[in-house]
Amino acid sequence: MASSDKLPTRAENFSEWYVELIQRAKLADYSDVKGCMVIRPNGYAIWENMQRVLDGMFKETGHVNAYFPLLIPEEYLEREKDHVEGFKPQLAVVGYAGGAPLEKGQRYVIRPTSETIINRSFAKWIQSYRDLPMLMNQWANVMRWEMRTRLFLRTTEFLWQEGHTCHETDEQAQEETLRMLDVYRTFAEDYMAMPVLCGQKTESEKFPGAVRTYSIEAMMQDKKALQAGTSHHLGQNFAKMFDTQFQGRDGKQHHAWQTSWGVSTRLIGALILTHSDDAGLVVPPKLADRQVVIIVVGKGDERTKAKEKAFALAADFKTAGLRVSVDDDESKNPGFKYAEYELQGICLRIELGPKDLEKGTCVMVRRDAERDPAGKPKKEFVPLDQAVAHAQSTLDAMQKSLLEKAKAFRAANTFEVNSYDEMKKRADDGFLLAHWNGDAKVEKQIKEETGLTTRNRPFDLKQEPGKCVVTGDPSPGRIVFSKAY
């Protein structure tokens, strides 16, 4: 088969590699609706695994799921000044329904996020401090009109979860905001094998209507940053606009302190951009839809025997809790299948053929195995009776190794910069840790002149005073600058 069947390499054209990989691995497809995508079974399966894990984590931290309407009265959004200002350019509005135009005041926006409509309900449900905290989450689709879209990373409609909580005090809301940020960090690192920087966003980068916004920021393989999740302390901003009040322990009425937090199908984009290679998709075992595929090799009687073994082996894998399938399709050559399963990101490939039957072994190939100069990955010959145990330990090792590799990559592409010149020179080099005086105008100037934006001020970055790289003004500590998605 010709080279046209290969993906463009990351070095050749990173964007094209990304787009083609998604389509060839059958993760998603374009639709006829501008800016919207179809998530195909291979992609949706990853999302389902993410949902399952995250939902479990939300439940463990005391949250319950609910569902609120897709359509929000236009007027609700207008109540919170920053909120409407922030979202106005991205709204899709329903202005025609039931066969007739809707008057202003009757129109609906398709939710870009649900703080407003959820507060209408919270206001009814909360009377006393005894009703608090109220810890809720919804899995939903949202719509934000975008100028430029990219599969998974930015689409007009996307799937996400949005957590919304109410608390008695500022401190409790703050705790919740950070607790959920930490849940996101755990998920990113332990499941996605994607290291993230947890920290606070600047004023200009915060959520419209929030008091403070925190984010997890990851570094993609092209060294650009990706905001992978956000957690907001909303203060009493929405509570005041929607009268979300409770009678406190002091007998007086108080507005609730609120938080909201979300991650979206963008995480799938993050996963791809973090781990995948020139052969195709790489998915960490914990999130992979199919962890193991057993490919039957051979012909005639030998093939029949290999097939029997393969199904027996698959049954053992299933018993051990692994997600496995057998491929005994005779119309495709093994070589084709190897390439195809690499493209689709199956974590572990097992080859089972005549030579194995003779020796009582099978061949195992890790998706992230080292490759020789010809591009062939390293193969392991494993006795059949050790196959399950070996596969399990291999998948564990792969999960760890992906995280380590991503960590090393980030470390190798993170730099302290001490002058504006240096910052300009290194603009495309990754994460730049620089002093900045905190002035939004300077932040904007840097963005316009270099394309660099502030990502966040990481909690674990030691804050030592210094001088702003642009103005020379005092700076409380370094903040992360980077080009970003």
| Interface stretch with RNA, choices 103-111, 115-123, 337-345, 411-419 (CB under 7 A) | 337-345
CB of residue 322 to RNA, shortest distance in Å: 19
| Interface stretch with RNA, choices 151-159, 165-173, 402-410, 468-476 (CB under 7 A) | 151-159
Nearest to 196 by CA among 220, 171, 175, 170: 220
Burial zone of 52 (CB within 10 Å; 0-12 exposed, 13-18 middle, 19+ buried): exposed
One of 132, 198, 352, 480 touching RNA (CB under 7 A): 352
Nearer to RNA among residue 319 and residue 331 (C-beta): 331
DSSP string, 139-192: EEEEE---SS-BTTTB-SEEEEEEEEEEESSHHHHHHHHHHHHHHHHHIIIIIS
- Angle, alpha carbons 330-335-340 (nearest 5°): 90
Nearer to RNA among residue 185 and residue 266 (C-beta): 266
One of 279, 287, 288, 313 touching RNA (CB under 7 A): 279
Q: Residue type for 221, please?
A: Q
Pairwise CA distance, residues 274 & 271, whole Å: 5
| Interface stretch with RNA, choices 59-67, 262-270, 382-390, 466-474 (CB under 7 A) | 262-270
Q: What residues numbered 387-446 form the site for RNA, per CB under 7 A? A: none
Chain centroid to CA 217: 10
Nearest to 192 by CA among 294, 263, 138: 263
| Interface stretch with RNA, choices 99-107, 145-153, 251-259, 318-326 (CB under 7 A) | 145-153
CB of residue 245 to RNA, shortest distance in Å: 28
Q: CA torsion 283→289→291→296, rounded to 10°?
A: -120
Does position 353 interact with RNA (CB under 7 A)? The reply is yes
Does position 227 interact with RNA (CB under 7 A)? The reply is yes
Chain centroid to CA 353: 39
One of 49, 264, 274, 454 touching RNA (CB under 7 A): 264
One of 74, 351, 368, 443 touching RNA (CB under 7 A): 351
CB of residue 358 to RNA, shortest distance in Å: 8
CA distances from 406 to 153, 223, 276, 473 (A): 19, 11, 11, 35
- Number of amino acids touching RNA (CB under 7 A): 72
Q: What residues numbered 5-34 form the site for RNA, per CB under 7 A? A: 5-7, 13, 15-16, 18-19, 30, 34
Strands (E) across 220-347 are located at 225-235, 245-247, 253-255, 257-264, 292-296, 324-327
Nearer to RNA among residue 34 and residue 59 (C-beta): 34
For tokens 């010959």, the residue is: 381
One of 251, 335, 373, 465 touching RNA (CB under 7 A): 335
Q: What residues numbered 175-214 form the site for RNA, per CB under 7 A? A: 205, 207
